[in-house]
Structure 1
Amino acid sequence: MIYIINSNFKIYCGFEVTTQHIESALYQTNEFLETIPSTVYKNIDYKTTSSIVGSMFCQSIANSTGAIVNPIEKGHPDVIPKAGEQASEEVLRNYPMGLEIKCTVGNITKGANLRAGQPRINSLEGITWQAHHREVKKLFGLVWDFVKSEHDFNHPKITATFYADNLVTDDWGEISGTEGRNTKVTGMKSSGKQKMGRGWVAVINESYYKDIYQKIMRFSIDDKA
């Protein structure tokens, strides 16, 4: 897979993250996803697949930048400076520096009835990242799909990445699942998606992906690439 990369992307979040780090992490993640047997993807839901994609990308970014994945399950952010390795669980729950990473497969047309291994891009209607609270201000967002290939099964691949460091509470919707045992989540609103779109980092170099992602996320691949 070949990506169009935003050459202007460079951030510092306790460790430096450049386009080179992102590109390396993308290829590491995609290669790993191909090693998982197709039967696994056919027997898990897309939320679980998203977790696998996101977890591997986190590890790949940590590997390429010299950072570490947050050692605790509910830690925030997902990737933190190596200095946080010995921090307490309380501190790791809201570490002051790092990179928060969230993953989505997007929303498709109702009734499309697509199965694992079938590309979703031509039925894609929206891209939404979710969080457990509305205080996420900085986010690196991944989008994935079952990308068409010459193999018998189309494995998932990361197809685009976006970043925003100026999100506010109102860029997130009301929290659902506040009753019972459901997981509390909030979805990003259109204002947040516009900020993410303006911060596009990498997009798969396939015309239909580029066209649809630019339309949905309202950005333009221009001389930044």
Structure 2
Amino acid sequence: MKTGVTSNLPVGNSRISFLTGLDWKGHHQYINNLLALFWDYFEGIPTIMSAFYSNKLVPNDFSNTIPKAGGGRTTSVCVTKKTARDKLMNNWVLLPDLPDYIQFFKKLGINN
């Protein structure tokens, strides 16, 4: 079941002005190096718009690993907590010089 405002937007429409937050996912809690990508539709094309990196992550920066119900072939994931997001935001690698994106990431605490 689709949820959230962006699930109702047509494919190809930018989502940035509808977002209120974000998180990244990993395969397990023992990731200390993470390149986190943020993508959106740019001029109708899926495009990596921002990238963040941290080599200071610890297991407590992630939720417990969430296994897929019933098993299956989908990989289990854990979700970043605010502590991980803060570490990633302090080390941005790519950020477009576009007001909507700058405003969104500043709201989330990007350190520029």
TM-score range, shorter chain: 0.7 to 0.9
Q: Map of 1:7-46 to 2, 5 A cutoff?
A: none
The aligned length equals 107
Find 1:168's aligned residue among 47, 58, 62.
58
Instruction: Please tell me whether residue 181 in structure 1 is matched to residue 71 in structure 2.
Output: yes
TM-score by length of 2: 0.87
Unaligned runs of 5+ in 1: 1-108
1:73-222 matches, cutoff 5 A: 110-112=4-6, 113-147=8-42, 149=43, 154-177=44-67, 179-182=69-72, 183-216=75-108, 218-221=109-112
Q: 1:144 Cα deviation (Å)? A: 0.6
Task: Give secondary structure in 1 for the equivalent of 2:12.
Answer: coil
CA RMSD of aligned residues (A): 1.6
Identity of aligned residues (%): 29
Counterparts in 2 of 1:159 and 1:178: CA distance versus 1, 3 Å:
closer
Contact 2:51 / 2:94 at 8 angstroms: preserved in 1? yes
Equivalent residue letter for 1:163: Y
Letter in 1 for 2:55: D
- Distance (Å, rounded) in 2 between the aligned partners of 1:178 and 1:127: 21
Q: SS where residue 140 of structure 1 aligns?
A: strand
More helix by share: 1
Alpha-carbon separation, structure 1, partners of 2:91 and 2:16: 21
Q: Which runs of 5+ in 2 are unaligned?
A: none
In 2, the alpha carbon distance for the partners of 1:211 and 1:185 equals 29
- TM-score normalised by L of structure 1: 0.45
Find the residue that maps to 1:125 and give its secondary structure: coil
Deviation, 1:125, is 1.6
Of structures 1 and 2, the larger Rg is shown by 1
Q: Distance in 1 between matches of 2:95 and 2:20?
A: 17
